[in-house]
Amino acid sequence: MLEKIEILKTGKAKALYTTSDPSKLIMEYRDDTSAFDGKKIEQLAGKGTVNNRFNGHIMDHLQSKGVDNHHIEATAPNESIVMSLDMFPIECVVRNFAAGSICKRLGLEEAMVMEPPIFEFFYKDDSLGDPLINDCHITAFGWANEDDIEVMKELTLKTNDILVTLFDSADLILVDFKLEFGKSDGKIYLGDEFTPDGCRVWDKETKKKLDKDRFRLGLGDVVESYQEIAHRLGINLT
């Protein structure tokens, strides 16, 4: 079995370890939960395990629908083997309904329908508050080339189509989410994670928030809500 050798990167919610295979890393999902660019941080028991199981299920589903991604297999309740990627310092966000930063930025009322879905790029830099950027910033500053930009947009919108359908079948609304991509041998793969930490999910009937907004807004039952989404999607958390 692949063993962890040393820490490569420590982020706000996960850690990445090198392994004896240079093309593979072990991603550890911690219980740390952060919001507001790392200004609010708490430990939520069991979140690492829920997110690792959740992510594995979603990545396998996306792979089966043709979205190539870095996930290989889980090796422990809160750890998975992933492909080592050269990550773009970019966050790709899609919005089906208005929530979060777009409401503040454009003065929109929460839950307004975004039709067609809105795609946005953000520059991944906590010290700058992850600012909104566009294609020109990305090419001018050499963060990715025009072909990479097209592939990231296409894969993000394809992921949205696949997951809106999946969540809808569980009476859940996929409001918005964030993806990160990276390259290996010149090919772009979906990396990082898809978990309730990086998306907004509401109950279709009651519009109850079931995602990280429960932590951001101090609504409580954060891990329980993540478990409820997983349960409704048929994800095994053990």
Contact residues for ligand ADP (CB under 6 A)? 9, 11-14, 16, 25, 70, 82-85, 87, 180, 182, 191-192
Distance (Å, rounded) from C-alpha 93 to C-alpha 132? Answer: 10
Residues in region 125-154 near ligand UDP by CB under 6 A:
130
* 151 contact, one of ligand UDP, ligand ADP, none, CB 5-8 Å limit per kind: none
Which residues inside 201-220 make contact with ligand UDP, applying CB under 6 A? 212
Interactions with ligand UDP, residue window 66-95 (CB under 6 A) = 91, 93
Distances (CA, A) of 79 to 52, 64, 157, 236: 6, 21, 27, 15
In the complex, least distance from residue 88 CB atom to ligand ADP, rounded to whole angstroms:
9
Which of the ranges 18-26, 50-58, 98-106, 162-170 carries the binding residues for ligand UDP, by CB under 6 A? 98-106
Q: Nearer to ligand UDP by C-beta: 1 or 113?
A: 113
- State how far the alpha carbon of 17 is from the alpha carbons of 25, 32, 94, 110, in Å: 6, 17, 29, 39
Provide the minimum distance between the beta carbon of 191 and ligand ADP in the complex, in angstroms, as a whole number: 4
Torsion of Cα atoms, 79 then 82 then 84 then 87, to 10°: -90
The two three-digit tokens of residue 12, written as one number: 């706000």
Binding partner of 212, given ligand UDP, ligand ADP, none, CB within 5-8 angstroms per partner class: ligand UDP
CB atoms inside a 10 Å sphere around CB 67: 20
Only segment of 41-49, 53-61, 106-114, 175-183 that touches ligand UDP (CB under 6 A): 175-183
Rg of the chain over CA atoms, in angstroms?
Answer: 17
Q: List residues bridging with 25 in a β-sheet.
A: 18, 82
